[in-house]
Amino acid sequence: MKLTHPFPHPPGSGHADAPLQRLRYALVLLAVVILAGALGYHYLSRLGALDSFYMAITTLFTVGFRELGEVTARTKLFTIFYLIIGLGVATYALSNLTALLLEGDLRGYLMERRMQKQLDELKDHVIVCGFGKMGFQAAWELKKAGVPFVIIEQDETKGRSPRFAGELILYGNAMDDLVLERAGVRHARGLITALTTDADNVLVTLTVKQIRPDLPVVARSAKLGTERQLKAAGADHIVSPYEIGGRRMAGLLLKPEMMSFFDIVLQQEQLELGLERITIAPSSPLCGQTLREARLRHATGALLVGLVHPGAGLRFNPSGNERFQAGDELLIMGPTEALETLQKLAAG
């Protein structure tokens, strides 16, 4: 997703094609005027087809060197009216062509078409609704993780950060189902709604769940006590920045070593240490083995932190007698290479 940018109008609305439509209309008018001029000179001055078009074009653009055929009073009157009407049409067509070439309309149109093609091809991406402080940070984390995403923002003054140069930014109302459709909600892997007000986040969640009931939605809760409304709307996860911020501030004083450990895990670029959730496939050799028999740490270098059996909750630090089965989810921590090795092993 490295080539596009603002595309405020949905396809078919006419806004994106307006410059080309105006130019097309002007060129058609110009062609009609030239054809009318050629027919006039053909009948009035008794000229052939080529000479008639030559007279029509050179007269219209005032570059003629001499007149061809019979020059009568009727020919002179026709030329006068032809110039009055034709010059206006020619000026209109040239001004539209100039706007396309010099004022950026053509470049904007081509960028919009390119963006629409990218949106149509996008799969397994994340939609970020709202490009405020929280949406900005969420998008930045997705970009660092290499996860494709689309940003929906109503304010066209946002999204100019160099960090997101070339990323897909769709300007429109995230509560509009047409905008969500354009953002590829039917093919997305998840949606983050971080709009300013809780009411807007509730409406976005409701709209998304009507289109894709199975799509995971992470919603921002600006005020304490609004989690219930977001949950009722269908939000799968609710994040309160004030609550999280308060917990972190207290944690830095009460348990600074623990907070530092989580920072290391979350900021993988510092020590190449990651925390991943990996699913065991039916074809994996791990199926049927106990944790003691699998010896994951010896085989891959990764540390098993937790285990989730299908239909059960997360069990931290499972015992060596736990037996792996298809569909189990492993909470794994370790270097990037160890995580990749275990992921291949779990995939079979």
Give the pair of three-digit tokens for residue 36. 């009318």
pLDDT over threshold 60, residue 60:
yes
Residues 148, 87 within the same domain: no
Residues 284, 285, 287, 290, CA torsion sign: negative
pLDDT bucket at 104, cuts 50 / 70 / 90? low
Residues 143, 214 within the same domain: yes
Beta bridge partners of 306: 316, 331
Beta bridge partners of 151: 128, 169
Per the CB < 8 A criterion, the answer to whether 103 and 109 are in contact is no
Provide the phi-psi class of 302: left if phi over 0, else alpha when psi is between -120 and 50, else beta. beta
pLDDT over threshold 60, residue 300:
yes
DSSP state of 281: P
Q: Which among 125, 145, 133, 309 has a CA at the least distance from the CA of 216?
A: 125
Q: Is residue 12 part of a domain?
A: no
Residues 93, 44 within the same domain: yes
pLDDT for 213: 92
Distance (Å, rounded) from C-alpha 347 to C-alpha 230?
Answer: 35
Q: Is residue 228 part of a domain?
A: yes
Report the percentage of the chain scoring pLDDT > 70. Answer: 83
- Let me know if 72 is exposed, middle or buried by CB neighbors in 10 A (0-12, 13-18, 19+): exposed
> Could you read off the pLDDT of 15-31 as tens digits, one per residue?
445 666 777 777 888 88
pLDDT over threshold 50, residue 339:
yes
**Dihedral over alpha carbons 180, 186, 192, 196 (to 10 degrees):** 20
Residues 85, 39 within the same domain: yes
Residues 204, 311 within the same domain: no
Q: Is residue 113 part of a domain?
A: no
52: containing domain = 18-102
Of the listed ranges 29-43, 91-105, 201-215, the one predicted with least confidence: 91-105
pLDDT over threshold 50, residue 151:
yes
pLDDT for 3: 38
Query: Which one is predicted more confidently, 105 or 25?
Result: 25
Residues 220, 324 within the same domain: no
Q: Mean pLDDT, the chain, as a whole number? A: 80
pLDDT over threshold 80, residue 181:
yes
Which 3 state secondary structure label does DSSP give 170? Answer: strand
Q: Is residue 279 part of a domain?
A: yes
Q: Which residues, 6 or more positions from 159, have their beta carbon under 8 angstroms from its beta carbon?
A: 5, 6, 131, 151, 153, 169, 171
- Measured in whole angstroms, how far is the alpha carbon of residue 335 from the centre of its chain? 31
Residues 127, 85 within the same domain: no
CATH code of the domain in which 186 resides: 3.40.50.720
Residues 143, 232 within the same domain: yes
For residues 227-241, b (16+ Cβ closer than 10 Å) or e, as one string? Answer: bebbbebbbbebbbe
Of the listed ranges 34-48, 188-202, 242-256, 324-338, the one predicted with least confidence: 242-256
pLDDT for 208: 94
Q: Is residue 38 part of a domain?
A: yes
> Could you read off the pLDDT of 226-264 as tens digits, one per residue?
888 888 889 999 888 877 777 777 877 777 766 666 665
Residues 250, 253, 257, 261, CA torsion sign: positive
Which 3 state secondary structure label does DSSP give 121? Answer: helix
Residues 147, 226 within the same domain: yes
pLDDT for 101: 65
Residues 60, 130 within the same domain: no
Q: Is residue 233 part of a domain?
A: yes
The pTM of the full predicted model, rounded to 2 decimals, is 0.56
CATH code of the domain in which 40 resides: 1.10.287.70
CATH code of the domain in which 299 resides: 3.30.70.1450
Q: How many Cβ atoms from other residues are within 10 Å of residue 181's Cβ?
A: 13
Name the domain count of the chain. Answer: 3
pLDDT for 192: 94
Distance (Å, rounded) from C-alpha 34 to C-alpha 249?
Answer: 76
Distance (Å, rounded) from C-alpha 149 to C-alpha 135?
Answer: 12
Distance (Å, rounded) from C-alpha 45 to C-alpha 41?
Answer: 5
Of the listed ranges 21-25, 127-131, 150-154, the one predicted with least confidence: 21-25
Query: Which one is predicted more confidently, 234 or 224?
Result: 234
Residues 74, 131 within the same domain: no
Q: Is residue 174 part of a domain?
A: yes
pLDDT over threshold 50, residue 320:
yes
pLDDT for 310: 86
